Amino acid sequence: MTDCDLCGRGIPTVIPVRVNPPLLKFAYPEGVWKGLCETCLDSAQKTYLTVDNEEISCRRGKCSLCGKKGKVFPVELQIPSFSKGIVKKDAPVCSNCLKAVDETYVRYKRKQINENECIHGHEHVHEH
């Protein structure tokens, strides 16, 4: 079991997102991996799309994924709670991490589509 780096939900596998923490840029110049659950990935990607259309305003703070201080955007989290069910909370995420989330989201959904095609047997081409 592993935990989502945004909401803390314990799940068997997380979706890896590469982020670039400013404090670790010399030790890890290619970035480090953060794991997100599918719910947080979807929510962060939705925030990225609204930021792209400038429907959402930024504020100053510290990014929950990379730790960079500066402009951040609120990503709505659904944190599981035994007493209250699901608690909604906003996590600040910077634009660089949102872009990385979007790239991961596209890759993840493309992989899911390819796996579904394999299950249904549509991936093979018949030679004539």
pLDDT tens digits for 86-107? 899 999 999 999 999 999 999 9
Task: Give 55's DSSP letter.
Answer: -
> If DSSP codes are grouped into helix, strand and coil, which group holds residue 62?
strand
**pLDDT score at 125:** 52
pTM, full prediction: 0.81
* CA gap 77, 54 in Å, rounded: 20
Report, as ranges of residue numbers, the positions in the chain whose pLDDT lies below 70: 52-57, 118-128
- Residue 90's Cβ-count burial label (10 Å; 0-12, 13-18, 19+) is middle
Length of the chain: 128
Cβ 19 vs Cβ 31: under 8 Å: yes
pLDDT, mean over the chain: 86
**pLDDT score at 72:** 92
**pLDDT score at 48:** 92
* CA gap 85, 49 in Å, rounded: 28
**pLDDT score at 81:** 80
